[in-house]
Amino acid sequence: MERFTQLSAYWPADGRGMAGASAHQAGGVTIAPFASWLSGNERLVAWRDAQPIMLSTLRQQVSALCQQLQQRSEMRWALCFDDSYLFCVALLACLHAGKTPVMPGHARPALLREQRRSFDALLSDSLIAMGKPALRIGKRAGRSAAPLPAVEDSAHLVLFTSGSTGQPREIIKPLAGLLREAQWLATLWGDQLANSQIIASVSHQHLYGLTFRILLPLALRLPFDARQILYAEQLSVRPPSPKTVFISSPAFLRRLDQALQVPACALVISAAGALSTAESARAAAWCGCPVGEIYGSTETGVIAWRLGAGVWQPFADVTFTPQPQDRWQIHSPLIAGEGTLMLDDRLTFHAEQGFDIVGRHDRVVKIEDKRISLSEVERRLMALPGIVDAATLVISRHGRRAVGVVLVAADLPDADQLPLLKRQWKQALQPWLEPLAVPRYWRCVTSIPHNSQSKRDWQRIEELFDAAD
């Protein structure tokens, strides 16, 4: 606990620390306009272990990196960071330098090479051999007092999400839309967010973590932890104050050890999957507050929210239009372009204007709250030597979900060969796929079962996994 107490000297007792004449008031929390994020009185913006990081340091490091970027011709910079504070430096420097931040969502070299046409150069806090220009930012980044250029109205970020084809799709997110999203969230949870610190078990490399772990704290002048919470034990050693907001996921909250003691949270937010009523209640009891959940996607931004695993409530400016084949079209100012998108989720609406999520239309699934494209897994498998066809699906056993695959190989392996081949196939997939996307259950057949319409017979495919591995 001692390593956290050093931060208390930097904590403003009243939550004030930055002046902002044109700020917007929402739910008792002042949302600072983007132009004032790096101005105003000295305050704590982040911490790393026992090390406080102050506004003046952030401003100087952003200015120094901005000058470096302005001297370079590359326009699109991929951001690949483990440290959230250094990511914040890189993000703000790119925006002020008139560059486009690109967020691949990972730092795996094989996938970065596959997406190399999406960016010109790379910013990171580690060494990544890409064959492209790269700048590595260390904890002792350079400092400068030079004034920062204004950020253009057209500033935007590039993120990626898995489509139904398995190919990562580029998503343009205007900065103005991200700031509007932060206003919605501050209006919804302003009282709980006021004067709090932000800790998170999710990565800033995806939209959920970017919004809640980086942009929302900066907009609300709240300090955030530069380190990601990986284990519940890290929470149990935190002091009871200052006030804490925990940004997490269903997978993390499901694994909480109820025997551990944790500081009471003012708010726990979960996204990237849905909690059951029992799971939400257990997490709320452990954290000392209700769990607020967010429904949304990289394409749409936040769509709806709920407390205690109840019915989803759309944000005020989000509307839905029914479409043929039980589809729904969403209308939201957070969606770039025309502001509409067809949802892949199947929804059931209720009289009180809320809704439930009852399934999906596409082949993107959630496993441990990771968005996994079964089509991409099939594509990667069929690129391996000797594999002719592949069908992937989700297998549920003992309350846990994992990817299963039915393969057609050029030469059908016998029982003795299969264990070695499975190890080789898994090893070949690791550079490309998230660990949870690598198949756990394997079946080899002479042909994939099909029905009379020449479509894959998923009932018969599922029956191949009836016997336990």
The residue among 61 and 352 whose pLDDT is bigger is 61
pLDDT at 19 over 50: no
Full set of structural domains in the chain with CATH: 34-174 (3.40.50.980), 229-361 (2.30.38), 365-463 (3.30.300.30)
Confidence of residue 30 (pLDDT cuts 50, 70, 90): low
What does DSSP say about strands 44-48 and 224-225: parallel, antiparallel, or unpaired? parallel
The pLDDT assigned to 166 comes to: 52
The residue among 252 and 165 whose pLDDT is bigger is 252
pLDDT at 58 over 80: yes
Cα angle at 455 between 452 and 461, to 5 degrees?
Answer: 100
196/244 Cα distance (integer angstroms): 5
| Helix or strand run (H / E) with residue 254 | helix 250-254
334: amino acid identity, one letter:
L
Mean pLDDT value of segment 300-307 = 96
Interval 163-209: pLDDT, tens: 544 567 899 999 999 999 999 999 999 989 999 999 999 999 999 99
DSSP string covering 287-342: HTSPEEEEEEETTTEEEEEEETT--BEE-TT-EEEEETTTEEEEE-TTSSTTSEEE
Interval 314-355: pLDDT, tens: 999 999 999 988 899 999 999 988 899 999 888 999 877 799
283 CB neighbour count, 10 Å cutoff: 25
Q: What percentage of the chain exceeds 70 in pLDDT?
A: 90
> Is pTM, for the whole model, over 0.85?
no
Structure tokens at 57: 């340091």
The pLDDT assigned to 105 comes to: 78
Dihedral angle, C-alpha 162, 163, 166, 168, nearest 10 °: -50
CB crowding 397-414: b at 16 or more within 10 Å, else e: eeeebbbbbbbbbeeeee
Q: Say if residues 148 and 63 touch (Cβ distance below 8 Å).
A: yes
The residue among 100 and 279 whose pLDDT is bigger is 100
Please provide the size of the chain in residues: 469
7/1 Cα distance (integer angstroms): 11
The pLDDT assigned to 458 comes to: 86
The DSSP letter of residue 148 is P
Residues in CB range of 30: below 8 A, 6 or more apart: 20, 23, 24, 220, 221
Q: Say if residues 47 and 79 touch (Cβ distance below 8 Å).
A: no
* Side-chain half-sphere CA neighbours of 403 within 13 A: 29
Mean pLDDT value of segment 430-452 = 88
Structure tokens at 452: 């009379």
Mean pLDDT value of segment 222-249 = 88
DSSP string covering 401-423: EEEEEEEEESS---TTTHHHHHH
Angle subtended by helix axes 374-382 and 418-429, to nearest 10? 110
Closest CA relative to residue 65, chosen from 34, 96, 107, 104: 96
The pLDDT assigned to 20 comes to: 30
15/195 Cα distance (integer angstroms): 5
Q: Order of strands, edge to edge, in the sheet holding 313-314?
A: 51-54, 44-48, 224-225, 197-200, 244-248, 267-270, 291-297, 301-307, 313-314
